[in-house]
Amino acid sequence: MADFQANWNRPFPRIVHPVTSTPLPEDTDIICLVPGTDILLLSTAGSVICWNAKLATKFPLPAVEFNHFILEVSPPWETSGIYSIAFLTGDNVAPVAHIHIITITHEAGEALILTSVFSEIPVPHVHHLKSVFLGEEMVGTISVGSNQEDCIVSLCPWTATGSNFHPDSTRAFKIPGNFSNHPAAACFVFEDHLYHLIENGQSVQIHHISRTSLLSGKEGEQSTLCTSDIPGDFRSSWGMVPTTLLYGVSAVFVRSTDTKTRITFVPNALTHEVSSPLAFDVPCVSLIVEGNCDLMWLDHSGFNAALVVHKPPAAYNLLLVRYHSDTQSTSLHELKVPEAIDLSNMKELCVDDSAGTIRLVNKEGLFST
């Protein structure tokens, strides 16, 4: 790990292994990457498959079938050898969605078992759906009320084994959250506490709903833990949550204009207190880069964000923005790619800090590592 960390700390990190390119199945999208492995979860033509990126073939595991469209994907829930995500499918019209929880059991980089549970759940204001979250004991959604000033949390019990999934026990309650200015949002569960982050362009607000409130379904024990100002005025936005919060980053928000992109890291600290196991005493840290962000992926730790940016009229760059928790600062690195890789033709990328790799997928489905 030390070798690639030193390489990634260079202003222009070097390619240390030959780049290989293999085709993915037709019309696929990457849902997630299991860190430190070659295991990808892909969506393709109404199904989800487990893909071996090293061998460019499907793992011999059953596909998960679904209808409609994938609306949202949760941050993963992970423990040793087990990796789970939840995703919602729907048609943006009906007041219900279909929730799927997929669990990959893996060992030594091999996907051994792929299991899934599925149910229809009510999702209030499905056309205003903002987030889906997954924890060790619960799965749920956050949507926005018609007044744009309330968020509705819908959740149901679940266990990591998947054998205790009770969609009939779904309950809902309101939490604060002003969405009148179309902010970006991120949501995650940590030690059965729910954290909802709202980034409105000028600040990041962090709302907390305690474990007691979530498990009881009552609206008490909510608090706004932090409001942190961020610089600049940017338009389009989105947020991503790392696989784990143990390293000290809870989310990264990206906003772009036609000529600039702002990347904002939201630090956290572990407290393991009953009232809140996370604290947000450190202000957000932002970096502004030249160019409009076309693609972005956040790694397992939350310390590394890979971006493809477009600098009009024709320049495209692959950038790595790194957060340094010891100095509470960021650094910018430009990654050189072989001439055969056309960054203007990319549709997806992913970064794995466990392996020191960045992977690119072009619009024809060619997967390059």
pLDDT winner (highest mean) among 168-177, 187-196, 212-221: 187-196
Cα distance from N-terminal residue to C-terminal residue, the chain: 17
Does residue 21 fall inside a structural domain? no
Task: Find the domain containing 139 and state its range.
Answer: 66-180
CA-to-CA separations, 229 to 158, 191, 236, 253, in angstroms, rounded:
36, 27, 18, 13
d(Cα 360, Cα 251) in Å, to the nearest integer? 22
> pLDDT tens digit string along 21-39?
999 998 999 999 999 999 9
> pLDDT tens digit string along 71-122?
889 999 998 899 999 998 877 666 677 888 999 999 999 999 999 988 776 6
Number of domains comprising the chain: 1
> pLDDT tens digit string along 281-313?
999 999 999 999 989 999 999 999 999 999 988
Does residue 172 fall inside a structural domain? yes
Comparing 359 with 238, the larger pLDDT belongs to: 359
159 pLDDT more than 80: no
Does residue 41 fall inside a structural domain? no
The model's confidence at residue 123, banded by pLDDT at 50, 70 and 90, is: low
Coarse DSSP helix, strand, coil percentages of the chain, rounded to the nearest 5 percent: 5, 55, 40
Comparing 113 with 157, the larger pLDDT belongs to: 113
Does residue 322 fall inside a structural domain? no
Does residue 171 fall inside a structural domain? yes
Instruction: Give mean pLDDT, residues 171-190.
Output: 74
CA dihedral 308, 312, 313, 317 (to 10 degrees): -30
Give the number of C-alpha atoms closer than 13 A to the C-alpha of residue 98, restricted to the C-beta side: 15
Residue/partner pairs of 114-119 with CB below 8 Å, 24 or more apart? 114/50, 114/59, 114/61, 114/62, 114/64, 115/162, 116/48, 116/64, 116/162, 117/158, 117/162, 117/165, 118/64, 118/66, 119/165, 119/167
DSSP structure string for 337-365: --TT--GGGEEEEEEETTTTEEEEEETT-
CA-to-CA separations, 231 to 14, 89, 219, in angstroms, rounded:
32, 35, 33
Does residue 214 fall inside a structural domain? no
Phi then psi for residue 180, to 5 deg, are -65, -25
pLDDT at 141: 84
Does residue 335 fall inside a structural domain? no
Q: Which residues contact 78 (CB under 8 A, 6 or more apart)?
A: 84, 243, 244
Does residue 47 fall inside a structural domain? no
